Amino acid sequence: MAEDQVIVGLEVHCQLDTQSKLFCGCSTDYRSDGPNTHVCPVCLGLPGAMPVLNKRSIEYAMRVAKALNCSVIHESEFSRKNYFYPDLDKAYQITQYDKPLAEGGYLEIEGDEGGEKRIRLTRIHVEEDPGRLVHMGTAERGRYSLVDYNRAGIPLIEIVSEPDMRSPKEARKFLNKLRATLEYLSVFDSEKEGSLRVDANISIRGSERVEVKNISSYKGVEKALLFEITRQKSLLRRGQKVERETRHYLEAQGVTRSSRSKEQEHDYRYFPEPDLRPLHVQSWVDGIVLPELPDARRERFILQYGCSPNHARTLTGELRLANFYEAVVLPDPARLATLADTWISDTLIGELNYRDMSIDTVDPADFTALLGLLRDGLITDKGGIEILRVLLDNNRDHLPRETPAGIMDRLMLRKVSAAPRETTQEPEKSGGGPCPAPDPIQAAIADVLGEHPAAVEDYRKGKKGAFNFLIGQIMKKTRGCADPGELNRLLTEELNKREG
Ligand SMILES: [Zn+2]
């Protein structure tokens, strides 16, 4: 076991979510614009242009350093890292080398052996992002590449960990926790493409270590590490040696490949950046106040709402999810907290993942209303899941909005054991009044199909949500009186007739 032990350390590059670049006033909001439209003499490295440090990015970096328990170094320094590559217009990158902004620190994750595990950090430094190469065809065989300097000069922090992780899973947990922390600090937006890139150092205890460069997605890290572990172990099993080298991860193929470039540290000819003075932050760092961070919020969810420890970890593991939970329970914390805890953690997240949807697509008010039906005993758990699925499908397919109570009535999900209708508040049945005779149901179908040609078209294309939508519209017209089974049959018949 011990000779097979996996050792992983990560170097994580995160783009700081500032408005302008690190050394010039160019906007960082470049993703939807054409190439080379967010550039100026400074970030293009034209002769004579002088960098001016963006104060906000240093403040963001210090927030991160404090949140990760690092020591902020009171005097740090920028250096030039020289190398020749087309993504680097100046032929050097301004970065921090022997005097980084912060050292030490740690991040706690849930370790493979259970319980909290501390992953130590080596340092955090500030640097500028290089430009981006767009290869025409494959990188190896394409005839040419294009370069876009919109990204050149975007502020980055590089967070370097000690080799404290023992599996790809721990690496994934480290990254998830790091991402959550950065989002809680409002310095980072994980939804922005390419905002986080990772280099991973990986070895089997007793052998040489391999650096896997430029992994650009969270999922990529775990996959790249799994591939490397298998590759290294099989070399060792066959009595071969693992070479110390740099490899690149090819996301599409899920493999790592040896890269020929073998720069050593001295190849970079680091020297202090002559156009920037050393950075003094002593009086500044003490004034930085941190917001509530994931661990504190998790504890609070357990104490304040009675969340189970596992669910609290899930709910607070993403800022958007934690905010969603609190918005949902806000109207009636005493009676909604526990329901929301289980329904979000056990049901909603799974249903969202299944549809590849994000939590942002769900209106907390809708979810509160759905939980209200469960709380009041109007529907069963099974009915609740049905309503949730319709809500999500409607959102995904951009169908008109329906309330959970409306869906409950349309699908006749109201529990039969509920008190007789006359004596309780009448459900939100649109219109009320007596039910129409059966014939009007056929008429309602014809009307609805005439009024919603787009939904009919969607149905033809196989969109299941469109059928539910049409049923909903007919139910509305018939004031919820049509028998759902019968209505399903009639509508299917009518649609098929029109198709033929
Ligand atoms: Zn610029």
Q: For residue 16, how far is its CA from the centre of ligand 1 (angstroms)?
A: 16
What average pLDDT does range 246-262 have in this prediction?
85
Which amino acid is it at 308?
A: S
- Ligand 1 centre to CA of 148 (Å) is 13
CA of 470 to the centre of ligand 1 (A): 53
- pLDDT band with cut points at 50, 70 and 90 for residue 427: very low
Residue 226: left if φ>0, alpha if ψ -120 to 50, beta else—which one? alpha
* CA 246 to the chain's CA centroid: 28
Rounded distance from Cα 35 to ligand 1 centre (Å)? 13
Q: How far is the CA of 52 from the centre of ligand 1 (A)?
A: 10
Of all residues in the chain, the percent with pLDDT exceeding 70 is 92
Is residue 409 within 8 Å of residue 427, measured between CB atoms? yes
Q: How far is the CA of 149 from the centre of ligand 1 (A)?
A: 9
Instruction: Give distance in angstroms: CA of 477 to centre of ligand 1.
Output: 59
Which has more confidence, 135 or 58? 58
Highest mean pLDDT among 149-158, 280-289, 449-458: 149-158
CA of 304 to the centre of ligand 1 (A): 47
pLDDT (tens digit per residue) in 186-222: 999 988 988 999 999 999 999 999 999 989 887 889 9
Instruction: Output the CA torsion 64→68→74→77 (10° steps).
Output: -60
* Residue 445 alpha carbon to ligand 1 centre in Å: 60
CA of 91 to the centre of ligand 1 (A): 16
Q: How far is the CA of 157 from the centre of ligand 1 (A)?
A: 18
Question: Token pair 């939970």 is at which residue?
Answer: 325
125, 151, 185, 392: CA torsion to nearest 10: -140
| Average pLDDT taken over every residue of the chain | 89
Cα 65 to Cα 60, 100, 353, 428: the distances in Å are 9, 11, 32, 53
| Distance of CA 51 from the midpoint of ligand 1 (Å) | 9
The answer to whether residue 1 scores a pLDDT higher than 50 is no
Does the structure show a pLDDT above 80 at 319? yes
Beta-bridge partners for 124: 102, 159
Q: Say whether pLDDT at 428 is over 80.
A: no
What separation in Å is there between the alpha carbon of 11 and the centre of ligand 1?
Answer: 26
What is the model's pLDDT at position 474? 82
What's the 194 CA to ligand 1 centre distance in angstroms? 19
| Least confidently predicted of 242-246, 330-334, 480-484 | 480-484
User: Whole-prediction pTM value?
Assistant: 0.80
Give 39 Cα–ligand 1 centroid separation in angstroms.
4
Distance 32 CA to ligand 1 centre (A): 17
Task: Tell me how far apart the alpha carbons of residues 249 and 257 are, in angstroms, rounded to a whole number.
Answer: 6
Q: Rounded mean pLDDT of 261-269?
A: 73
> Separation of 28 CA from ligand 1 center, angstroms?
9
Distance 45 CA to ligand 1 centre (A): 9
Q: How far apart are CA 169 and CA 161, in angstroms?
A: 16
Å from CA of 151 to ligand 1 middle = 10
Kindly indicate the confidence band of residue 500, based on its pLDDT and cuts at 50, 70 and 90.
low
More confident call, 461 vs 333: 333
Exposure on the CB side of residue 415, measured as CA atoms within 13 A: 14
Distance 421 CA to ligand 1 centre (A): 68
Helices (H), 411-479: 439-451, 453-460, 464-477
List, for residues 382-400, the tens digit of each pLDDT value: 999 999 999 999 999 999 9
